[in-house]
Amino acid sequence: MSGAVAVPADPVIADIRNNAEAELVAKSTALLASVGFAFVPITHAIGGTWDLMAISPRGITLIAARASRPDFLGSAYSAPPGWPPVVRLVLVWNGTDPLPTSISLG
């Protein structure tokens, strides 16, 4: 299948809910790894929102990969309670664009 993204079979990929989401997370993992992010294995989405956890030059980074811009009202995209300061990054993948829109939340 041309253009298909292989989903890594390791615990870096969190609790994936469907194949479309798994592909977004795999694309995000590959993109961020290519620019130096080091991933921390997690077994489930942190706070039900954050698919990946990584270490970057900015510190601990939580990443959510989405197909469309989420609604940021409420607390779903806030930092987990009791955590040290973290960078929160939402990658929005438009089906036609080769790179995602990056939304940094801190």
CA 83 to chain centre: 18
Give the count of domains, the chain.
1
Residue at 4 is within a domain: no
Q: What is the pLDDT of residues 60-89, one digit of tens each?
A: 999 999 999 988 887 788 888 888 989 999
pTM exceeds 0.85 for this model:
no
Backbone angles phi, psi at 88, to 5 degrees: -110, 125
Model confidence at 23, in pLDDT bands (50, 70, 90)?
confident
Full residue range of the structural domain in which residue 100 is found: 19-70+82-104
Residue at 9 is within a domain: no
Sorted by sequence, the CB contacts under 8 Å of residue 77 that are 6+ apart come out as 49, 64, 70, 88, 90, 105
Model confidence at 6, in pLDDT bands (50, 70, 90)?
very low
**How far is residue 53's CA from residue 37's CA, in Å, rounded to a whole number?**
10
Backbone angles phi, psi at 39, to 5 degrees: -90, 145
